[in-house]
Amino acid sequence: MKPDLNAAIQPLVVGLNAVIFAASEGELKVLVTESVEGGEPAMPFGPFNPSAHRTFEIGLREWVRDQTGFELGYVEQLYTFGDRGREAPLAALAGAQDARVLSVGYLGLTPDARPLNNTEAHWDSWTRFFPWEDHRTGRPSILTKVIEPALRSWCDEAAAPGRRAARFDRVRATFGLDGALWNEERALDRYELLYEAGLVAEAARDRGEPNAAPEGMGVAMASDHRRILATALSRLRGKIKYRPVVFELMSDSFTLSDLQRVVESVSGFPLHKQNFRRALDRAGFVAGTGRVESQTGGRPAELYRFARENLTAGAALGLSIPRAKEG
Q: Which is nearer to DNA, 158 or 303 (CB)?
A: 303
One-letter amino acid for residue 206 of the chain: D
- Out of 299, 312, 313, 314, the only residue in the binding site for DNA (CB under 7 A) is 299
Determine the length of the chain.
327
For residue 294, the 8-state DSSP code is -
Residue 211 interacts with a second copy (CB under 8 A)? no
Q: Which is nearer to DNA, 9 or 181 (CB)?
A: 181
Question: Restricting to residues 88-147, which ones interact with a second copy according to CB under 8 A?
Answer: 90-91, 94-97, 99-102, 104, 118, 120, 135-139
CB of 287 to a second copy, least distance (A): 17
For residue 303, list its beta bridge partners: 255
Q: How far apart are CA 185 and CA 140, in angstroms?
A: 17
What is the per-residue binding string for a second copy in 179-208, x denoting contact by CB under 8 A? Answer: -xx-x-------------------------
Residue 304 interacts with a second copy (CB under 8 A)? no
Q: How far apart are CA 81 and CA 203, in angstroms?
A: 17
Q: Which is nearer to DNA, 173 or 301 (CB)?
A: 301
Q: How far apart are CA 21 and CA 72, in angstroms?
A: 10
Residue 294 interacts with DNA (CB under 7 A)? yes
Q: How far apart are CA 283 and CA 259, in angstroms?
A: 15
Q: Which does 301 bind (CB under 5 to 8 A by kind): a second copy, DNA, none?
A: DNA
- Those residues whose C-beta lies under 8 Å from the C-beta of residue 46, and which sit 6 or more positions away, are 15, 16, 59, 63, 64, 67
Residue 1 interacts with a second copy (CB under 8 A)? yes
- Give the Å distances, CA to CA, from 126 to 6, 33, 123: 42, 13, 9
CB of 250 to DNA, least distance (A): 14
Residue 323 interacts with DNA (CB under 7 A)? yes
Q: How far apart are CA 112 and CA 36, in angstroms?
A: 26
- Out of 2, 161, 290, 297, the only residue in the binding site for a second copy (CB under 8 A) is 2
Residue 240 interacts with a second copy (CB under 8 A)? yes
- Give the Å distances, CA to CA, from 75 to 22, 146, 201, 247: 12, 36, 30, 13
Question: Restricting to residues 254-293, which ones interact with DNA according to CB under 7 A?
Answer: 255-257, 272-275, 277-279, 282, 292
CB of 108 to DNA, least distance (A): 28
CB of 316 to a second copy, least distance (A): 8
The residue count for binding a second copy (CB under 8 A) is 91
Q: How far apart are CA 36 and CA 40, in angstroms?
A: 8
- Spell out the alpha helix ranges (H) of 95-199: 141, 148-157, 161-175, 187-196
Q: Which does 327 bind (CB under 5 to 8 A by kind): a second copy, DNA, none?
A: a second copy
Residue 159 interacts with a second copy (CB under 8 A)? no
70: how many CB neighbours lie within 10 A of its CB?
Answer: 22
Q: Which is nearer to a second copy, 160 or 317 (CB)?
A: 317
State the residues that interact with DNA by CB under 7 A: 255-257, 272-275, 277-279, 282, 292, 294, 296-302, 319-320, 322-325
